[in-house]
Amino acid sequence: MKPLALLCLAAALAVAAPAQAQNAGQIATARKGASCPKCNLFQADFSGLEIKGRNFAGARLRQADLSLSVMNRANFGGADLRDVNAYGGVFSSANFAGADLTHASFVGTYLEGANFAGATLDGTNLSGAEMDRARGLSQAQLNRACGDGATRLPPGLRVPGC
């Protein structure tokens, strides 16, 4: 192959590769219960784990599985939680301030006392979520999310149906 063809092929492969693949070492450490702020936990499996009070501020948890996990008082401030599955999880008093929860699934999740100040909830499914004592929620945020008749919200707030 000519040098120019090789250069073009290398450039094409670099563009096709994932921009930031997961960090297996960071995932293993976090699964054992360690705090991991600003870690790359892309597609991590935390399902069924009990990891209370840990710091994941600014971490990349996109497409992670948090279903049936217990993460009370965990700090997800400013984290990338897009496309996360948190079905049936327990996140009492967790901090989601400034986090991106776009297209996340919080179906049947316990979110009492959780802080959502400035969080992005575009397309977030809150069906059956218990969040009547959640803090920092605005109607504007909820207008971009969806829920159902079983979704429990603070007084005066409502969420469109899914």
pLDDT digit string (tens) for 20-79?
A: 578 999 999 999 999 999 999 999 999 999 999 999 999 999 999 999 999 999 999 999
What is the residue extent of each domain of the chain?
A: 41-157
| Contacting residues for 118 by C-beta, under 8 A, at least 6 apart | 97, 98, 136
- Say if residue 133's pLDDT is above 70: yes
Q: What is the average pLDDT value for the chain, to the nearest integer?
A: 90
| Cα angle 59, 61, 62; round to 5 | 130
pLDDT for 63 equals 98
Is CATH 2.160.20.80 correct for 41-157? yes
Taking the C-alpha atoms of residue 112 and residue 104, their distance in angstroms, rounded to an integer, is 17
Residue 72 is predicted with a pLDDT of 97
The pTM is what? 0.86
Task: Please report the pLDDT score of residue 161 as a whole number.
Answer: 97
